[in-house]
Structure 1
């Protein structure tokens, strides 16, 4: 199983897709001590295989390891958090809420 890796020069967390040369990515920007998650991309032909959830899990775990907070501008990441409230400790209070 591939692991999510931070790629700071590209401002994204990456999940290589096994058996291909493609990847899923969660884009971000840094604002002070926060990581603002802005957009998530999973190649369309890999949709429905759980890659987005693996990417979100790895992204949240990576953010937790840094001690930073996440701001959830990306609707996918916000939806993942809504299903996984155990990440409340890393969500910045200024994150939009539905």
Structure 2
């Protein structure tokens, strides 16, 4: 896992700063539900698994804080589909 991922609660996102660029996963938090709505990784940082690390970090945050997850970002949804160990976090719909 990237050691430089930081939670920025004021901006509602998890961020990593590499090579002068910013990658992040943003969220909306309501009561006991966190909705991951965007994952942004600049092209220059692409192909290194940074997006996956951001998602893994965000899902770990949800688990530790007993939050249900809504993956409205397609990248987050695809990650959860490929990693069934996180499917228990999904909001019952």
- TM-score normalised by L of structure 2: 0.88
Which runs of 5 or more structure 1 residues have no equivalent in the other structure? none
Match of 2:56, SS?
helix
Is residue 59 from structure 1 mapped to residue 87 from structure 2 by the alignment?
no
Q: Please give the root-mean-square deviation of Cα atoms over the aligned residues, in Å.
A: 1.4
Correspondence for 2:80: 81
C-alpha separation in 1, matches of 2:57 and 2:5: 5
1:27-46 equivalences in 2 (<5 Å): 27-46=26-45
> Which stretches of structure 1, 4 residues or more, deviate above 4 A after TM superposition?
none
Which runs of 5 or more structure 2 residues have no equivalent in the other structure? none
Are the counterparts in 2 of residues 4 and 59 from structure 1 also a CA contact under 8 Å?
no
- TM-score normalised by L of structure 1: 0.84
Structure 1 residue 41: deviation in Å? 0.3
In the TM superposition, what whole-angstrom CA distance separates every residue of 1:75-97 from its partner, at most 9, and x where no partner exists? 00000001101012211123xxx
Correspondence for 2:6: 5
